[in-house]
Amino acid sequence: MLVFWKQRLVLLSVPKTGSSALEAALAASASMAVLDPPELKHAPIYRYNRFFRPMFERLGAERMDIIALVREPIDWLGSWYRYRQRDFLAGRPESTRGMDFDTYCRAYASGERPAFADVGSLAKFVEPRPNGVAVTHLFRYEAMDAVTAYLAERLERPVSLPRANVSPRAPITLSAETEALLRRHCAADFAVWESARTG
């Protein structure tokens, strides 16, 4: 999570939506860069509302604009699947080594997700809170040019993103049955992605 105090802007770090590249490009000019632990770096709206908002309000920021990115849900799961094939996870319960993407997605859509498929939900990450705290500007990950243009305007500086935290290549194919299962199970995630800005 990056905080730009003068601009009253918070950039949430939604996992698997280019957050590492955004941090590499912008952390040095942020007022606050929350990079560890992962629970705070990747603070969803509910955690931002509970821990960060009260502090910011006490310091005089009654309103902060909150920006977040969401990714097409199947592609988002594909990024998690590829990431968890990395060497450092080999032999651990979180690893997807030796597993195809269809099996991974079926596990994600199950009632009791195993460790390798326990990656949360895009819709839950950006879910508005009862007190009205919500993402102000929700962009699609696939519209990164629009994201960088918005940030460049708000921060009054050019924004150029490096490649960062790129997952290994792996086949991302689903049976029609599994895709239909995911679209039912992740209906809220698809709705959030479809509502996000592309420009």
Domain covering 2-195 assigned CATH 3.30.1490 in the classification:
no
> So what's the pLDDT on residue 172?
87
pLDDT (0 to 100) of residue 165: 63
pLDDT of residue 16: 95
What does the alpha-carbon distance between residue 155 and residue 168 come to, in Å, rounded to a whole number? 32
Domain ranges of the chain: 2-195
Do residues 2 and 26 touch, judged by C-beta distance below 8 A? Answer: yes
- 35 dihedral zone (left: phi>0; alpha: psi -120 to 50; beta): alpha
End-to-end CA distance of the chain: 22
Give the pLDDT band (50/70/90) at residue 66: very high
Q: Distance (Å, rounded) from C-alpha 95 to C-alpha 105?
A: 14
**Which residues have C-beta within 8 Å of that of residue 110, sequence separation ≥ 6?**
117
Q: In 3-state terms, what secondary structure has residue 99?
A: coil
Instruction: Dump pLDDT digits (tens) for 155-172.
Output: 999 999 887 666 667 778
Q: What is the pLDDT of residues 73-131, one digit of tens each?
A: 999 999 999 999 998 999 999 999 999 999 999 999 998 899 999 999 999 999 999 99
pLDDT of residue 171: 77
Q: Tell whether pTM > 0.85.
A: yes
Amino acid type, 161 = L
Q: What is the pLDDT of residue 168?
A: 65
- For residue 191, pLDDT beyond 80: yes
